[in-house]
Every structure is written in structure tokens, then in C-alpha cells.
Structure 1
């Protein structure tokens, strides 16, 4: 990797950490770590210097500038006396996880000839043509041995590894190629594969089908086909016209603006650039974390920008607050199989350890803007943690079970977030217990989620799986709309909320959805069954998957909903109870359905029709509750970040 910044800590007077409460230290790019840091005129140079000396109640006030370091606090605050890292009033502070790459020179025909001694396919390739056009530059730099973790930026915008097809620079709307007729098991057949036999041998392949995105190596290649070293895990097959794929790891594909190729053996980075890279700021990721809070508690980070880096708390962390964080390019990787032979680490790659990771208990992230991550925007782990009023977009560009917010553990609160443009789910809810702590329900409410299902199907804006007893976790008052599938498949479901494969004891209430193939709610009770769910007052329809066996849906109640309900036969045979749902053929007479205003008009037949459910459908000015997500006469509730 690029050499990480070494912070030289000067000797600290013993009294520095024993000083009176509430001391403020200052940091500025013009400062010196040998200064006392106690005034704006004598600031430290590095935030880590603050972290070395601060005690409970102290504040590190950070002046405008870019800081290239990973801050590891020496100690924690206490309840009521947190340690605070804060951007100064009006300051623009960026913690940069990337380092500048310099020393560029133009690649020549002689260089191509040298490369062709070990890679003969480079000599007559799109790369060699780009060299002739003067577009390829290179420099020697150590970015480590794992190409799948290399991330390169030009003027703060991420470049893309050279691959076929060229995906373009929009990570959530890439150009996609699909396996053609003749594909099966581990072989991708496609007449568009016109490179010579052997060209793709040893390349990396990314495939995506159904709910599985995976990576593999190309074992052999011919004109019109490549054969992988193993069939894609979980699904164990390549499916014609449904499996999307891309191939990387060959310098011959370096022929498009904004792309790069890295040779780890030669420690050489190649870049396609229309002009001299020296005129631009070229950077490569070097550090994973801006703040390593895995050993900290009662600490606040306020008003800080993150670039190519993130923040993580630990199992024992408590009382951490992250407020007004602006993070871009939080996490990056392109290997999502990780040596697994089946689903395990493929589907869940990045769920637990990418994006802003909040572990421990009673920690929170609020009022933040997070974008661009191979994995999550936020990983909410542990117990009793909170994500509120955040804007999250362009995450999970590898298309796994990572999400805008990946919720693990239990007793978590996710409210009033706006999430858009994600590879799979806006919120991925996976139930886990925390050792030593009594579990409790999650609350997922008042979130506005759109642009999901861009790279993976059988999915929802809010997705939860599998066969967990959710202790009454509530998914309520969410607006779930306009999924944007980038695949050609029409086989697999897309819904607003998907309780998949036996999820039970959920309350799904007062949600609104539109544009979802399977409606606002989808319940899958196949296999283990899906029991004791309350599906109340939702607008937008639903789909049910149950076998016709007694007990498969025992205790599940579907009351007061508006929109068509599909799949009733198996569900009712299994014990599900329906009541007071508006028949699909009856027009609910919304205020303005064309503009997605699904409140009820005065003439709506959904008025005065509901079963009273205290705490669920209170507020109607009619004698009886309304059907659907908006009670007649009540103030209209809104979802999304409140800023």
C-alpha cells in the first residue's frame, strides 16, 4: 500500500490529560505537533495529536483543510462528558483516506512491446491503440498485491478498473452484458466475446443473477465463450439472457476515459487520460478508516467530511455520536466471493464491515450525507443503535446484501432517512442476538427509499430474511417507490417490503409504495412458514407466497390494506386471516394518485371501513378508522430526512 502518514508525537506533559474539564485544543494544516494546541494561533498539525492528549469533556476544534490520517483515540469520554472532535465554525474539514500519485509518464510503443513479452495479447489490443493515440500514462507506485482493493481517483471522482464491457463511470448504472444461448453451469457463451482464444485466461469475472453477485476466475477462454473456475455460488449455474457479467484484469481493455490497470508484480499503475495526469489530482486509497473508534466510548465526531475512508466503532463502544458527517467513497472492493464455495460470504460480503460501522450499544449517526460505497452506507450492528435523518445514495455498487443501511443485531432504530440508488436493498434487516444482552424489537420507520434493485433481484426497498422471530419489530410509515432494475429479468420479485423465507412476528403497517412489481408488501412463507405477522393499513398492494399446508401462516393478520392482494389461496389454507381490505376492483378515490398523493378524498370508499387497531390507525376524524396508510382528516405524515 502507499506509505501511511506517520504522526510523530512529541512528549506530552503529564498535566495535559489531567487538566481541567472542558479544555479545547486546536488543529490546523499549518500547525505543529510540538505546539501546545491550546489556541487558534498555536494549533497542532494532526488530529491524532488531539486524540493523544484529550480527556473526558475536552474538544478538538479542527480548522479548514485536508487531513490524511487515521485517528485512534487514546481514551474515551464519560457519560455527560464526551470527548468531541468538531469542525470549527464555518470550516471545511476533510479526512482523506487517499494519497497523491505522481511521477506520470506517457506509455510508448516500446513499453507495449515489453509488456507483450509476458502478455502477448497486449500487442494488438484496444490498449495498444490507445497507446498510439497518446492516451495511456503510467507510474511506479506500491498499491499492494491485491488488485481487488485498489481504488483510484481523478480530481475526487473514482476511476474504474479497465474491463469488458466498459461499464462507464456511473457505478449504479453500468453498461451490462448478458450471457447468451449456450451458457450453462460455469460457462458463459456470448458471440460478443471476440477476443482471441486464451485472451481472457486468468481474468476475473463478475456475475450477477437472481439475488447473487459473485466473482470468479476465468479458467479458459475461446472466441465466443469463457469458462470459470467454478459455477457461480448459491445458484450454481450461468443462465442465458439472465446472468449479467463483466471481465477484468487484462491490460488489453485499458482503452476508455476514466479507467486504470494495475500490475502488482511490477508495481505499476496505468491510467487512461485525455491529457497529462500531472494537470490533475490523481490519488489512490491508502487508509480504510478516518476515525478508528473501535476502542472508544462517549465520543462525538461533528461536521467532518470523509473521502475514501470511513468510521468504525467496536463491540464495547457506547455513547458514540456521529453528526453531520459527509462521506464519499466509504468502502471499496471488487472481490465478493472471498474463497467461499457457496452463498455465505458471497451474498453477505460487506454487510458487517463496510460503510460507517456502528457497533456496540447506544451509538448513533444523525444528519449525515453518505455516498458511494461498494458495500453499505451504514452498518448498524450491536444493539440499541440509531440511524436518523441521513441521506444515503449510490451505495452497494457490488450488488450484494450490503445496503443503504444494513441492520444487524437487534433493538435498532432506523428513522427518517432518505435512501436512493442502491445495488440491492435500501435497508437490509438481519436479526442477530448480542451476547449478554436481552434482545428487543427493531423500529424501521418514516424512511423514503427509491432506486433500489439496480443490480440484484428478488429484493425490496426494505428486505429481511430468514426464518427469524422478530419480536414485534415494526416496519411502519415508510415510502417505498420507483425501483430501477438495471437487469433484463422479469422473473424475480421487487417489492416495497419483503419478509423473505419465514420471517415471523413483524408489524408491517402504514407503508406506501408505488412502482413495485410485487406491491408494497411481500411475504414468503415457503419452507418454514411465516407466522404471526401483522400487515395493517398499507397502500399499494401485496403478494403472498405460501404452500397449501396447515400452519404455514398461523397468526398472520392482514387488515385494512388498500391495493390488490395476490397469492391468497395457499396463505388462507395455512391459517392467515384477512379482514377489512379494500377489494382490488374498488377505486379508493385517492386525492391525486397520478402525483402519488394517496390520501383519501372525501368520497373515498376506504373511509370508515377499518378495524380499530390502537397505535396503528389512530387519528381519523371519522367514527371508524380508514383503510390504507393515511387516516382521513389526520395531518399527512411524511418520510425521509428532515433537512
Structure 2
């Protein structure tokens, strides 16, 4: 019998935290005073000629970094610091520390104010300014929000919801025909292409001539026909970077030669508005630093990097926004490539010069919130580095192979990250750029979703190409709700990948794909994985391999068959898998809860696999990713934002006219509802959530459909299905997965209504809802609690809570209300033991008391429930507090329904 407590004891010390209102990683004055060496203070009200004491702080961080040496600390008080921070190195036993003091946000701001605006005619204003970055890397912010560079067709503020023009089929590889192209001179503009028969990467070119309804361009189209404009399935493009595109408030254009910035001002004029422009690519530059700790800082319009020789750098509790911006996709330089240059390497454009960059060896990025990058979220390159516990989102919108996390090198650790809303992959390896062999990496306990927003041929976890992953383990990850074709994609002859205890659902045609691509696929393995709904063709596929020696697939559970082919010596081994027509009896496949019920045929039906199954409970290993009777492991981070999806409790959808549209809300991304006539304004879908839910974002996913997405729609909400009021969101544009974002609402019904006509019928594969904070009706996993007091957490549960010990979840959404608390726990029992549910603080009002009866020991797990005296509604911080003994119970998860 596996010992849960023994597993928990292996949890890292950093996983234990004391209750605090401060952000993760934020320093306090007491923290700083406890550091070895001297402590200096920095504050916006200070002066650089002062001493740097708490009463006489420095004005700039740069002045502080001039003073510090090994063991010294810069404590930085709240405020905005427009400077480039480049501290010296510390020592392994005495790092240099830059930390937020804890009295408010400390922002390293990479932008500078733009002033001196004058009327420029034609509804524009202009300012003379020297922007120091490359012309394609400029960014502008209007009143603290990213402003859109002038483009056609117009698009909304979300770069992952782009509006595309569609070229005529008469277009060719360097020419576009489009009768909707407006009048104007677009010469010199960038044309951004998502085109081809199966476009797995986007490209850019430069417009060389324009005429009525047509333009010529140079560049792009490196591989025809897969990535080529012309008579293709995909003929999408937009124009950016021309003065002629300026036609809506907030759009801008920079004339680099003249040093002049043009802007369409807000309605009412530019007076009273603030405009800033990006000036600094690397606000925190550690490229020549080692043994430095950066804690609790915020980055705005800039990024952070370590260097190829950096070691011992710790970055924690950082919040970064708009870290990288660019509008072109140039070919990587020859010296950046590890193999001979070739046209196909356009896919690796911007991988090495975007994102937060953890280079070198032995460096760590943890517990940080990193969002909004045209390119990579985090670049991990070198050896022995760690990226763990981070929330990475809204990145890679330019559509090359820049992912949430780019993993290069060997001995890297990538664990417990939540990666959401990426242009292409969530986690990727760029084979062209590997300088260090891809060996001995650990990629585990990551939650990857809403990937492939601007591509179709790819996956949330993507490997390419010809990589030898000797010693690498990809395990305990969850991939779901992505718009590509595969969940885990080991592409183009890569080998020796060990995949095990992974989960995939709503990933397209396949769960895992080993693609030999007319060459070898050697030593790839997949064990104890669980595949759910939304996988239409094969749970696991191996094809195209001239040699598949070492292939081994066992102990998997799936709702679709497997397709394994290819010669080998020994031949591929495929056995002990639970496949159709058998019913695995998942707990709740609609919501991705793929752990087995008590009557599942997967229990004790697996085989022993060295290094994978280990000790087991019962007569043998279970098939699938979860061992029945053990705590349910979870993936992803613990920061705010890491849990946002609204639980689908059996929603119903009806099309205008009364037709059933249940395929749009059945939780299965590979089923599709499609209208019976071309799109017309007024067509609608009405969704009944069954009970009132709280949500603030709606996603409409058309899967691989290239024609059925609407060009415009509104979203309205209702509590009773009769009174709707004004729409809460209006969306325009023509993107493949479309989001409507609005202030959080609590409602039972929502209606999506088209506002524009279209030549094709409306198609919806899945409607999903999201909100700030976890859904109370979902399983709140104890190991993902945002706050912990007096107890350790492992990969799947806590250790035993005693009196006063607690776990807490912030911003839990109850919607219409919950009246039952259920806790999965393990306990040896004690007289008056109980778990108390408290709201809003660990000492807040008691919403329920759950008496704890023994389950047979602290390794025997049972669900216990209690009715709440009063229904809880709205949103609350939720705390589970132990009382009545030194060893009350270990906790796996709780629900409030």
C-alpha cells in the first residue's frame, strides 16, 4: 500500500506558507533585516545622495545596485520606477537581493511618457519622439491599456482574438486580390499571413505595391503549399504599420525616419489622456549576473532575462505584463540555429528574443504571473534550470512557434505551471535552437489549455523535430480545450520520450501522436494515461515510422481506439489498455474528472512498469492516470487566475427557432452544432446553465472549422430567461475562437446573437465560460490551496491537519448558492474532531461544521458531507480549519454544491 504521508514528506519546503495578505514572494522589512549583509531602502520619495536607510532611502534602484555586494539587499517601496535594473552578482552563500518592501506594488516600467501632441490633420494628432527600439518592436499604451498599432481590418483590443481579411482564391504566393481592400497607399506596410493548405505557422512580408482591390508583397510564403497564399483552404491576412490604416480611436503609426508618432485620439481629443511608449526591452537585466534574488516586483512593458553564464538566480513572485511586442516574423539568424539554415526555420522566429528568459544553469523562476507577449512567455535555455508554480497566459499571438514555455537544453525542470491562451503551443521545444542536448528533462504537473489559438496543426505540448529525449519524463500533465489536432505531439522522428500519468480531453483528433514522418520513431512510451471526450480519432497514434523499435504503450484508458503501426525490433508493444467498447466509468468526463469510480474496470487491471507504476494499492496497478483509493493529483499553479473555468453541470442550448443545439454545450469539443442557413443578423443561441453561475468571459470555439465563425455577435444575460436588458458584450471581427469579455455577472441564462450576415452557416463546437477564481461546485484540490497554515501539501493532498491548521482558497464563486459541503479526507479519528468551513478569513463566520469520523487511517480516503445551515451565495474566500485534536484529518479535495 502506498503511503500518502510518505509522499507528502517529499514535498519541497517552499510549498508550505504562512497565512499572509502579501503577494507570494513579497518581502517585508523584517525579511530584509534578517538577510546577511547590509539592507538598503529605495523609495520614490527618496534621494540618491542620501544614505539608503529606511528613513533616508535612495530614489532609484540603480543607485542601490551600485552600492550592494554579496549578501546585501535592496528593499524597494511602492511606486513606479522607470529604469533598467542590472544588479551585480552575489555569491552562492550570499546572494544579492532585490525585493518589494511589502507596502504596495513595485513596478519596473519599460515605457516613457509621450507629450507635445499637436493636431496633424485628418483627425490625427502627432508628437515628435525618438523611440529607441526597432520599428517592428514598438508598443504604445493609452491610459494604461495597450493601444493597437494601426491595422486593416480593424480588430478589438485582444490580440488573441484577431480580425482577419480573407483573400480571393485568385491570389498567388506574392499577390493578394481582395475587393474589400480599402483605398489608400499601403506600400511599406507589413502583411501578416495565416494562409496555406494547413498553416502550422504564420509569416509576414512587406507590401511593395497597392492598387484597386489588390496588393503585391515580398517575403513570407517560405513553404508552398502548406504555408502559402493562393487557392488554399486558409487565405487569412491583415495589414499593419501604415499611416493609411489609422481609422479608429487608439490606433497609432510611427514614422521612424521622421521621428513622428501619429495617433487617432480618443473621442473628445487627447487632452486629459496619458500616452506612454515602450523604451526598454529588458527592465531587469541579469544577463551578466549570478546569485541574485528578485522577489515580488512587477514589470510593465518590459521583461527580465538572465544570461548564458548566469547561475544561482532566483526570480519569484514577479508579475509581468506586456513583456514582448513585435509586428514582424523575420528568419532567425544563422548563428542562432543548431542545424544548417533553411526556409522552414521561419517557425522559430522570435523564440530567442522574446519573453521572460531564464538562461544559463541552476536558475529558478517560480510563483510568478506572466502575461501578454507577442512571442514567448518564458524561454528556458541552458541546463539545470527550474520553472515552477507560474501562471503564464495570453502569449504567442504573432503565430510562430513562440509558446507559453520554450524548453531548450538538458536537466530542466518544468512543473506545476498553468499555461492558458497561447497562439500555438503551451509548452514547446524548438529543435532548430537546441545548443544543449535535450536530455534528462522533467515536465510534470502542468495544466495546459486554450492553446493553438492561431494555428491548427499542433498541440498544447509539442516536440519537433528529431530530438533524442533520453532520460526525459513528461508526466502528470493535463491538456484540454485546445484548438489544434493533438494533445501531446511528438513530431517528426523524435524519440525516447517517456510519457506517463498524463490526461487529455478536448484536444481534437488525437490524444497523443508519435509521428515518424517517413523516418524513425524510437523508444517512445506512453503509460497510465487517461483520455477523455473531445478526441475523435485515436487516443494514441503512431504512424509514418520506418522503424518504431522501443514503442511501448500500456495501462492507458480511453474513449477512442489506438492506432499503432510501424516495424520494429522488437515490434511495438501495445497491451493492457482499457479501450472501447469498454466503459472506463470516469467520475465526470464532461468536466475532465477522469478518475475512476468504484465500479471502474480499470481498477487493479494494469501491469507493473518499472519506474512508472511503483508501489500500488490493491492487487495491481490501476489503468489510467489515477490510482483508485489514492488522493487525486492535480496540475497547475496556485496563484490567482490559475483556476477560472466554470463547471458545466449539464447545460442546454437552443437555437433561434427552437432547434436543439446541445452539441454546442455538451463538453465535447469534437461535436458541432451548425445552423441550417447562412448567417444572418438576429440568429441566436440561448444557453440554460441550469442554475445561476458567475462568469466574466465567454469563449466560442469552432474547432477546426475554417468557415463557420461569426463576424460579429452580442452576449446578453438573464436570471429568468425572459428579461435580458442590454448586451454585456459586443464582439466584432472574424477569428476562429472568439472571446467576449465583460464584468463578472451572475445569471442562469445567456444569449449569443449574431449582428452581421455571413455566406456560411454558423458553427459552434463548444461554448465555455470563465471567471475570476475557482467554481465552488468544482473539486477544490487541497494541494492547490492558495493559503496554507501549519500543514504540508504534497502532489495530491495535505498532511494531517491539527487544531488551528487550515487551507484556504481565494475568490471562490458560489453563483446561485451552495448548501452542501463535501470533503474527501483521511483520518484515524478523534473524539471531537471537526473541519470548519469559514468564509472570508481563517477567523471568519462558520458556514458549516463537518464532524470527522475515522476512515480507517490517514491513508484511507472517504468522502464526507454536511448540509450548510444557510445557503452561501456570491464570491468568498473559503477556509477549511481543523479543530478538536492534534491529528484531525488529511484533506484531498472539497466541493460546495
TM-score (norm 2): 0.63
Match status 1:560 vs 2:574: no
Task: Please give the secondary structure, in 2, of the residue aligned with 1:279.
Answer: coil
Structure-2 residue corresponding to 1:86: 99
C-alpha distance after superposition, 1:272-323 (max 9, x if no partner): 2223333122100001111111111110000000001111111111100001
1:42 Cα deviation after fit: 1.1
Task: Indicate conservation of the 8 Å contact 1:421/1:450, yes or no.
Answer: yes
1:49-198 to structure 2, matched below 5 A, reads: 49-73=63-87, 75-108=88-121, 128=122, 131=123, 136-144=124-132, 146-195=134-183
Indicate the larger mover: 441-450 or 585-594: 585-594
Instruction: Identify the match of residue 211 of structure 2 among 215, 222, 233.
Output: 222
- Cα separation, partners in 2 of 1:230 and 1:379, compared to 1, 3 Å: closer
Structure-2 residue corresponding to 1:588: 584
Instruction: Identify the match of residue 296 of structure 2 among 296, 303, 307.
Output: 303
Task: Please give the secondary structure, in 2, of the residue aligned with 1:148.
Answer: helix
Task: Indicate conservation of the 8 Å contact 1:619/1:633, yes or no.
Answer: no
Task: Indicate conservation of the 8 Å contact 1:453/1:494, yes or no.
Answer: no
The unaligned stretches of length 5 or more in structure 1 are 1-19, 109-127, 486-492
1:618 Cα deviation after fit: 4.1
Match status 1:413 vs 2:413: yes
Task: Indicate conservation of the 8 Å contact 1:249/1:261, yes or no.
Answer: yes
Indicate the larger mover: 401-410 or 560-569: 560-569
Task: Please give the secondary structure, in 2, of the residue aligned with 1:346.
Answer: helix
Distance in 1 between residues matched to 2:313 and 2:64, nearest whole Å: 17
Match status 1:505 vs 2:496: yes
1:627-638 to structure 2, matched below 5 A, reads: 627-638=623-634
Task: Please give the secondary structure, in 1, of the residue aligned with 2:460.
Answer: strand
Instruction: Identify the match of residue 544 of structure 1 among 541, 545, 553.
Output: 541
Task: Indicate conservation of the 8 Å contact 1:337/1:345, yes or no.
Answer: no
Task: Please give the secondary structure, in 2, of the residue aligned with 1:227.
Answer: strand
Indicate the larger mover: 225-234 or 421-430: 225-234
- Cα separation, partners in 2 of 1:237 and 1:408, compared to 1, 3 Å: same
Task: Indicate conservation of the 8 Å contact 2:515/2:545, yes or no.
Answer: no
1:524-539 to structure 2, matched below 5 A, reads: 524-539=515-530
Distance in 1 between residues matched to 2:434 and 2:211, nearest whole Å: 51
Task: Indicate conservation of the 8 Å contact 2:358/2:380, yes or no.
Answer: yes
Task: Please give the secondary structure, in 2, of the residue aligned with 1:562.
Answer: coil
C-alpha distance after superposition, 1:226-251 (max 9, x if no partner): 22224512346214341321112322
1:187 Cα deviation after fit: 2.3
Match status 1:453 vs 2:452: yes
Task: Please give the secondary structure, in 2, of the residue aligned with 1:50.
Answer: helix
Structure-2 residue corresponding to 1:203: 189
Task: Indicate conservation of the 8 Å contact 1:409/1:432, yes or no.
Answer: no
Structure-2 residue corresponding to 1:122: none
Task: Indicate conservation of the 8 Å contact 1:505/1:532, yes or no.
Answer: yes
1:153-552 to structure 2, matched below 5 A, reads: 153-195=141-183, 199-209=185-195, 210-235=199-224, 237-239=228-230, 240-272=232-264, 273-338=266-331, 343=343, 346-430=346-430, 440-483=439-482, 485=483, 494-540=485-531, 542-547=539-544, 549=546, 552=547
Task: Indicate conservation of the 8 Å contact 1:619/1:634, yes or no.
Answer: no
Instruction: Identify the match of residue 35 of structure 1 among 38, 50, 68.
Output: 50
1:174 Cα deviation after fit: 1.0
RMSD: 2.3
Distance in 1 between residues matched to 2:330 and 2:398, nearest whole Å: 11
Distance in 2 between residues matched to 1:425 and 1:298, nearest whole Å: 31
Distance in 2 between residues matched to 1:592 and 1:544, nearest whole Å: 25
1:98 Cα deviation after fit: 0.2
Structure-1 residue corresponding to 2:605: 609
C-alpha distance after superposition, 1:540-562 (max 9, x if no partner): 1534252374xx21111111112
Distance in 1 between residues matched to 2:625 and 2:214, nearest whole Å: 51
Task: Indicate conservation of the 8 Å contact 1:162/1:250, yes or no.
Answer: yes
Task: Indicate conservation of the 8 Å contact 1:417/1:447, yes or no.
Answer: yes
TM-score (norm 1): 0.86
Task: Indicate conservation of the 8 Å contact 1:66/1:94, yes or no.
Answer: yes
- Cα separation, partners in 2 of 1:67 and 1:499, compared to 1, 3 Å: same
1:431 Cα deviation after fit: 5.8
C-alpha distance after superposition, 1:169-220 (max 9, x if no partner): 1011111223332123222233322436xx3333211112422211111233
Task: Please give the secondary structure, in 1, of the residue aligned with 2:324.
Answer: coil
- Cα separation, partners in 2 of 1:433 and 1:384, compared to 1, 3 Å: farther
- Cα separation, partners in 2 of 1:243 and 1:562, compared to 1, 3 Å: farther
- Cα separation, partners in 2 of 1:86 and 1:35, compared to 1, 3 Å: same
Distance in 2 between residues matched to 1:25 and 1:51, nearest whole Å: 9
Distance in 2 between residues matched to 1:431 and 1:213, nearest whole Å: 18
1:608 Cα deviation after fit: 2.1
1:137 Cα deviation after fit: 2.1
1:574 Cα deviation after fit: 9.3
Distance in 2 between residues matched to 1:582 and 1:223, nearest whole Å: 60
- Cα separation, partners in 2 of 1:390 and 1:258, compared to 1, 3 Å: same
Higher strand share: 2
The unaligned stretches of length 5 or more in structure 2 are 1-34, 334-340, 532-537, 639-785, 787-897
Distance in 2 between residues matched to 1:246 and 1:331, nearest whole Å: 20
Task: Please give the secondary structure, in 1, of the residue aligned with 2:112.
Answer: strand
Aligned residue-pair number = 584
Distance in 1 between residues matched to 2:588 and 2:173, nearest whole Å: 49
Distance in 2 between residues matched to 1:22 and 1:394, nearest whole Å: 40
Distance in 2 between residues matched to 1:219 and 1:281, nearest whole Å: 35
Distance in 2 between residues matched to 1:22 and 1:146, nearest whole Å: 41
Task: Indicate conservation of the 8 Å contact 1:383/1:434, yes or no.
Answer: no
- Cα separation, partners in 2 of 1:494 and 1:434, compared to 1, 3 Å: closer
